[in-house]
Structure 1
Amino acid sequence: MLNQLPPPLFEFFNGKNVSDKQHEAILLLSIDEEQWPHVAMISVGEIVAINESELRLSLWRNTVTSTNLNRTGQATIVVFLEGVAYYVKLSVQEQSISDARHERQGFVATVASIRADVAKYADIISGVRIQLKEPEPVIQRWTETIEDMLK
């Protein structure tokens, strides 16, 4: 297992060219109060890599996910990229986003471990993919959110 983002993941989370990555959804798993896994989908506009071992998240306030992250300090993200399924365990801590332009809750996340999963008998051809209904305002919000996280 790795504890730093490999180059394809670091590039994917670099906060650049979000319009090219708009169709990719990332699964964010947390643990709810009853100890069940809770799954949320986030976009490249809600996560950015600061370096190979630190990420920042900007999530909607007062959601089940943000509540879970505050309570447990742990999360896992699942990303399907270039034929590989990546499972990234994170230690998370709330962090305010100064002068944020959108009502978001910020978190700093440290990579605890990464597992790259491939099968010898099959190729991963797609992960979770989305189609934005109104791309321009969403991509603009993503760009602004990433800029805010990088301050």
Structure 2
Amino acid sequence: MIIKIRNNVNKTFNNLITLEEIIKNNKKNTSSNLIELKHSRLKSYLTKKRTIYQRILKVCWAIELKNKEYYKSNKLRTYSTIEIYNIVNKCLAKDNQKTSIRTLEYDISFLNQILLITTKLKHLGKDNGSFAFYIQNKNLWKHRFTIIQEAIY
């Protein structure tokens, strides 16, 4: 049973590791440090990583979309995390999936950790709340597919 993991967001980037490659690379390995895994467990692990990868790419796309609107309006039209959450959930609904707001917050903090985005908070005064917007790292943004893939796997 071979499972191919492909990126549905960007058709030209389909270098994600496959179960077939893992098996082929480890057949020759005779190291004593190897751990034996069941085929089904490895398959579920790769499937889980694929869904995380695709969800994070959708978060990146939503942030990019909202940033374009923000800069087009000369920094007058702001956006919130809830708007990004709604965009991502609408995209995931097409795949019969749904995510929670906390999962989205984890994804955004993950993107912060790998330096693809930085979060800027603007406070609106005492007891008036604040809003956050996300700035993409223009140097790394071009290579986000590879960076996210390497960070996840």
Return the TM-score normalized by structure 1. Answer: 0.26
Larger Rg over CA atoms: 2
In proportion to residue count, which structure has more strand? 1
Larger RCO, structures 1/2 (Cα 8 Å, 6+ apart): 1
In proportion to residue count, which structure has more helix? 2
Return the TM-score normalized by structure 2. Answer: 0.26
